[in-house]
């Protein structure tokens, strides 16, 4: 019998956990329960990422590897994944639009313990500049990582005049984590931060007005959210299957059918997310093609994750809803995390790119 030659190594994808050790993933997984209750501060997990050298990368050196790393972290600890994604996004914005002085200063600060976030969502009084002596006014809402993020990229002013600013946010007198009264993602402490009175001298402006909205980096970046979503869905299915195996129920055909039909779509979603990540590096595509792919990956993985939650609820049954249930904790986090901005408007935008003109149907698969 003829034996086929092995594939060329360049055709064999690398393992998705190549950049993250199993030991690190295990530690993040174990930490998740205590981080949810507040018994363990989440900054200890962030320090594990720092120790693994994961905080100096803005995700663009190897976008596919970044997507896979986000999936892996999201599969074991979605709150840590969300904070890490914010840090990666902030570093990318600084690298895209910051001066060389700010870029090198922030690299040094990260090496010395800084951790970043991007706080765009405004509070009741939006953050604006131009008050007396150039001070800021207003507050941010849903500001992830209060007490963990040391420096945030914030949006100041709105519309085409929106401008990015890098501000030290370690003054906890300005923070209110208590308003983050959600049933999931508790460990992210995504409350409010009041910038009123912050002096102009304490603000490092990043880029020009409107830069933040430039594509394909703005909406085009939602593939990172998609990576976390699909990773968390796979992590949830994994946890459910382990529980069913322990109960001697995984061999039942209805369980295999229910979970496998979702897992195969999750695998498809993972592949799509990798493709969306790689698309951001292509210069032969229009920005809108890249954005449409990223949006589609984000919304497709949202659907898969919702299906995973439904399948796990049906498979585990009532035990899933106990306060100590592992699948219950993962579901609380995932269902909250899936509520990301502007899903319906994004779908319309993707449809306009792919369906509203001749010859656009193949998108990035052209
Ligand atoms: C865990 C977590 C951490 C976060 N961390 C941060 C952070 O660090 N920084 C930050 O800036 N933000 C953060 N956010 C907030 C995020 O940026 C969004 O603001 C938030 O997720 C929006 O969620 P939403 O469901 O209210 O979306 P919306 O877009 O407000 O949608 C809400 C609902 O309204 C409907 N809807 C929306 N627009 C219309 C319309 N025009 N017509 C009809 N229906 C409409 C949609 O169908 C949707 O179901 C975080 C969110 C989460 C979940």
> How do residues 222-271 score in pLDDT, each as one tens digit?
999 999 999 999 999 999 999 999 999 999 999 999 999 999 999 999 99
> How do residues 34-93 score in pLDDT, each as one tens digit?
999 999 999 999 999 999 999 999 999 999 999 999 999 999 999 999 999 999 999 999
Structural domain ending residue among the three candidates 160, 185, 213: 213
Q: Is 341 in the pocket of ligand 1 (CB under 6 A)?
A: yes
Structural domain ending residue among the three candidates 153, 180, 213: 213
Residue 193 has pLDDT above 90, yes or no: yes
- Residues 240 and 345 grouped into a single domain: yes
Q: Name beta bridge partners: 168.
A: 151
- Give the three-state DSSP class for 18: coil
Cα–Cα distance measured from residue 17 to residue 234, given in angstroms and rounded to the nearest whole number: 14
Residue 151 has pLDDT above 70, yes or no: yes
Q: What order do you get walking across the sheet with 191-194 strand by strand? A: 139-143, 191-194, 175-176
The answer to the question of residue 317 being in a domain is yes
Q: Is 20 in the pocket of ligand 1 (CB under 6 A)?
A: no
CATH classification of the domain holding 161: 2.40.110.10
Q: Is 25 in the pocket of ligand 1 (CB under 6 A)?
A: no
Residue 282 has pLDDT above 80, yes or no: yes
Residue that the structure tokens 């995700």 belong to:
59
Cα–Cα distance measured from residue 170 to residue 125, given in angstroms and rounded to the nearest whole number: 21
CATH classification of the domain holding 229: 1.20.140.10
Q: pTM for this structure?
A: 0.95
Residue 156 has pLDDT above 70, yes or no: yes
- Residues 279 and 178 grouped into a single domain: no
- Residues 228 and 200 grouped into a single domain: no
What's the domain range around 335? 219-359
Please say whether the beta carbons of 261 and 254 come within 8 A. Answer: no
Give the contacts of 183 (CB within 8 A, at least 6 positions apart): 332, 336
Please say whether the beta carbons of 280 and 216 come within 8 A. Answer: yes
Q: Is 143 in the pocket of ligand 1 (CB under 6 A)?
A: yes
- Residues 225 and 187 grouped into a single domain: no
Mean pLDDT of 204-208: 96
The answer to the question of residue 11 being in a domain is no
The pair of three-digit structure tokens given for residue 58, joined into one six-digit string: 């803005």
The answer to the question of residue 5 being in a domain is no
The count of domains in the chain is 2
The pair of three-digit structure tokens given for residue 244, joined into one six-digit string: 């069913």
DSSP assigned state of 5: P
> How do residues 167-180 score in pLDDT, each as one tens digit?
999 999 999 999 99
- Residues 59 and 205 grouped into a single domain: yes
- How close is the Cα of 225 to the center of ligand 1, in Å? 13
Instruction: State the CB neighbour count (10 A cutoff) for residue 215.
Output: 15
- Residues 182 and 224 grouped into a single domain: no
- Residues 173 and 76 grouped into a single domain: yes
**Residue with CA closest to ligand 1 atom 8:** 144
- Residues 144 and 31 grouped into a single domain: yes
Distance (Å) of CA 58 to CA 49, 65, 190, 221, 333? 14, 12, 22, 12, 25
Q: What are phi and psi of 85, to 5 degrees?
A: -60, -40
- Residues 229 and 337 grouped into a single domain: yes
Structural domain ending residue among the three candidates 213, 244, 275: 213
- Residues 136 and 86 grouped into a single domain: yes
């Amino acid at each position: 019998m003829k034996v086929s030659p092995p594939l060329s190594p360049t055709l064999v994808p690398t393992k998705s956990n190549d950049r993250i050790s199993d030991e690190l993933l295990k530690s993040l997984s174990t930490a998740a329960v205590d981080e949810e209750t507040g018994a363990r501060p989440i900054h200890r997990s962030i320090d594990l990422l720092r120790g693994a050298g994961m905080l100096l990368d803005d995700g663009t050196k190897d976008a596919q590897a970044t997507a896979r790393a986000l999936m892996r972290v999201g599969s074991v600890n979605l709150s840590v994944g969300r904070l890490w994604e914010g840090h990666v996004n902030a570093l990318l914005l600084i690298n895209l639009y910051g001066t060389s002085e700010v870029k090198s200063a922030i690299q040094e600060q990260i090496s010395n313990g800084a951790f970043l976030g991007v706080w765009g969502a405004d509070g009741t009084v939006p953050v604006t500049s131009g008050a007396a002596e150039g001070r800021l006014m207003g507050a941010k809402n849903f500001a992830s990582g209060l007490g963990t993020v040391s420096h945030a990229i914030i949006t100041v002013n709105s519309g085409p005049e929106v401008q990015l600013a890098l501000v030290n946010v370690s003054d906890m007198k300005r923070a209110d984590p208590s308003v983050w009264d959600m049933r999931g993602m508790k460990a992210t402490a995504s409350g409010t931060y009041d910038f009123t009175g912050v002096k102009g001298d304490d603000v490092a402006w990043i880029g020009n007005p409107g830069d933040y909205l430039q594509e394909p980096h703005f909406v085009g970046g939602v593939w990172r959210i998609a990576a976390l979503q699909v990773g968390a869905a796979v992590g949830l299915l994994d946890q459910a299957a382990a529980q069913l195996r322990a109960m001697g129920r995984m061999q039942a055909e209805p369980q295999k059918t229910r979970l496998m039909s979702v897992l195969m779509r999750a695998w498809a979603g993972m592949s799509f997310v990798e493709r969306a990540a790689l698309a951001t590096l292509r210069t032969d595509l229009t920005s809108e093609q890249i954005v449409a792919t990223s949006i589609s990956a984000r919304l497709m993985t949202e659907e898969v994750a919702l299906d995973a939650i439904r399948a796990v609820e049906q498979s585990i049954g009532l035990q899933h809803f106990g306060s100590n249930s592992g699948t219950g904790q993962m579901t609380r986090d995932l269902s909250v995390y899936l509520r990301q901005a502007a899903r319906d408007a994004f779908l319309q935008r993707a449809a306009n790119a792919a369906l509203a003109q001749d010859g656009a149907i193949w998108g990035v698969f052209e």
